[in-house]
Amino acid sequence: MVWALLLLVSQLPLAASSPQRVTGVLRKDACVCQINFGAWDFPVQEFEELLGRFQQCSESLDELKTQTNLTHFKMPLFSAAIKNITENLSQFEYINNRGLYNPLNFRLLDDEVGDLGTQIADAHKKQALDASTAQDLNDELSSIRLKVQNMQKYDKFNLLALREHIRKLKNRLESCRTYDKTQLDQCSKVLLSDISSPVVTQLNPFGTSYPFGAWGKESRHGSPELYWVQPLQSSNTFGITLRTYSSFEDFVMSKNHKDISVTSSYTTTYSIQGPGTVLYNESLYYNCYKSPNVCKFDLKTKTFQHMALQDAGHDNKFPYCYYSCYGTTDIDLSVDETGLWAIYATEENYGNIVISKLDSSTLAVVQTWKTKLFKKSVSNAFMVCGVLYATRYLSPKQEEVFYAFDTVTGHDTNTLSVPFEKISSDIQNLHYNPTDQRLYLFNYAYMLAYELTF
């Protein structure tokens, strides 16, 4: 900075650069003259002003350097955020390009109403509906058909509300087809109201090296008691091993276990992908390797079955998320008093959760319900007595059940507030067991279980 200061000084208007001419007087052999030395006075005021300007320039330069360094530091963070937003928006762009967000497609709506009328008539013919229920549904459908006809002429702005009405009507029809009274007699008629502190808290037997996976207890009444742990061993995504214990004591003491090899490789058709696994009627149900398929592995016969969930998102297309997404949680299996369920999402339902009741023997889809809950807005979900419950993140140590969808009535609510404790932020597997009415959680290498109150 010295050279800059010298430059400024050199530019000061010094009068010494101009010579003075003076007249002298001879006195005793000496020439006496009067000289005005004020002309060579150093311009202190001008110098101080220039020095102040220099200091201001120096401070501005330092501030500019600081901003530049901060920009270099933040640019990677901005780039990463933009990339994340772009990836999240890509699925919506895809859905939009496919025309799935076109709410004014009346022809499709007409087809949907006509198809629903055929389904109601077919269900009544097969005696899945009694005459009174069938008449109620037909009356409601006739009202909808009339509204559609009027909307095409006069009012196109209530179409989305009408679509929601049709969705609920379909869900009521699915409920009438699926349930009989005996299945629901053992269920509470009220929603979940409380989750206890953990009654089991234990590190999984494979240790913290395997933070992702699932665990639980045989979920079918009448089947032999069996506790199980299924770690995801390859990239925290794929698994090939199931560890079982024949009693709770053996499980707690980590003794007398049996390791079962489901497949010999992590990349075969029947390899386990993701943590959405359950054990039901001595068979393991899970999402098959890199596919929308549900796999079934029979522990007794060591045989496989598989079935594709139509249009189901997979391979991180519609995983569970909240602040961040949980890898390969697109397809989640669950069991309750009524049997086996698959929880997933489809483009056709705009990424919202779809619930399918499965035949545990053949894996065939018995019935399907569509919700309006976006799957990426929840951290996990489970079924109890035909009711879907969804959770969300509250803090690194607490989760909350906030949503319920009743497949029996077709009604839903997002006003629940049932918090529960956890060990870590990420929850991988969360499912209910109807044999002991407990909730089982695999939480970043730890296994927890809770008592439920309705």
Q: What is the tens place of the pLDDT at every residue in 358-406?
A: 999 999 999 999 999 999 999 999 999 999 999 999 999 999 999 999 9
Q: Is the pLDDT of residue 181 over 60?
A: no
State the pLDDT at residue 321: 93
Q: Could you tell me how far CA 199 lies from the centroid of its own chain?
A: 27
Instruction: Give dist(CA 71, CA 82) in Å, integer.
Output: 16
pLDDT band at 188 (very low <50, low <70, confident <90, very high): low
CA distances in angstroms from 98 to 93, 319, 347, listed in the order given: 8, 21, 9
Instruction: Give dist(CA 345, CA 319) in Å, integer.
Output: 9
50 against 236, higher pLDDT: 236
Q: Is the pLDDT of residue 122 over 50?
A: yes
340 against 411, higher pLDDT: 340
Instruction: Give dist(CA 50, CA 12) in Å, integer.
Output: 9
Instruction: Give dist(CA 267, CA 248) in Å, integer.
Output: 32
State the pLDDT at residue 75: 59
State the pLDDT at residue 12: 47
410-426 mean pLDDT: 93
| Per-residue DSSP letter, 16 | G
Cβ(295)–Cβ(242) below 8 Å:
no
State the pLDDT at residue 14: 47
State the pLDDT at residue 2: 41
User: 31 is written with which tokens?
Assistant: 């020439």
Secondary structure class of 186 (helix, strand, coil): coil
> Which stretch of DSSP H or E encloses residue 272?
strand 272-280
Phi-psi region of 386 (alpha: psi -120 to 50; beta: other; left: phi over 0): left
Q: What is the pLDDT of residues 301-318, one digit of tens each?
A: 999 999 999 999 999 999
Going through 191-257 in order, the beta strands assigned E by DSSP cover 194-195, 200-203, 213-217, 227-231, 238-239, 241-245
Lowest model confidence (mean pLDDT) among 83-97, 108-122, 283-297: 83-97
Q: What is the pLDDT of residues 2-53, one digit of tens each?
A: 444 444 444 445 444 456 677 778 777 788 887 766 555 667 777 778 888 8
Instruction: Give dist(CA 224, CA 246) in Å, integer.
Output: 8
Instruction: Give dist(CA 134, CA 125) in Å, integer.
Output: 10
Q: Is the pLDDT of residue 99 over 50?
A: no
Residues 6 or more apart from 399 whose CB is under 8 A from it?
A: 379, 380, 391, 392, 393, 419, 420, 422, 427
Q: What is the pLDDT of residues 41-88, one digit of tens each?
A: 667 777 778 888 888 888 888 888 877 776 666 557 655 655 555 565
User: 155 is written with which tokens?
Assistant: 């009012």
Average pLDDT, the chain: 82
Cβ(51)–Cβ(12) below 8 Å:
no
> Which stretch of DSSP H or E encloses residue 274?
strand 272-280
DSSP characters over 39-97? GG---HHHHHHHHHHHHHHHHHHHHHHHHHHHHHHHHHHHHHHHHHHHHHHHHHHHHHH
**Sheet order of strands, 241-245 included:** 213-217, 227-231, 241-245, 258-261
Instruction: Give dist(CA 442, CA 214) in Å, integer.
Output: 5
Q: Is the pLDDT of residue 334 over 70?
A: yes
152 against 49, higher pLDDT: 49
User: 92 is written with which tokens?
Assistant: 């919506």
pLDDT band at 133 (very low <50, low <70, confident <90, very high): confident
> Which stretch of DSSP H or E encloses residue 164?
helix 159-178
| CA nearest to 165, candidates 177, 181, 149, 148 | 148
Cβ(362)–Cβ(377) below 8 Å:
no
State the pLDDT at residue 104: 44
| Per-residue DSSP letter, 408 | T
| CA nearest to 243, candidates 222, 223, 227 | 227
Q: pTM for this one? A: 0.66
CA distances in angstroms from 111 to 106, 108, 166, 173, 370, listed in the order given: 9, 5, 12, 17, 18
Cβ(431)–Cβ(444) below 8 Å:
no
State the pLDDT at residue 162: 63
State the pLDDT at residue 9: 44
**Residue 354's beta-bridge partner residues?**
344, 370
Q: Is the pLDDT of residue 347 over 90?
A: yes
Residues 6 or more apart from 33 whose CB is under 8 A from it?
A: 22, 23, 24, 25
State the pLDDT at residue 74: 57
295-306 mean pLDDT: 97
140 against 345, higher pLDDT: 345
Other CB atoms closer than 10 Å to residue 65's CB: what's the count?
A: 10
Cβ(425)–Cβ(404) below 8 Å:
no
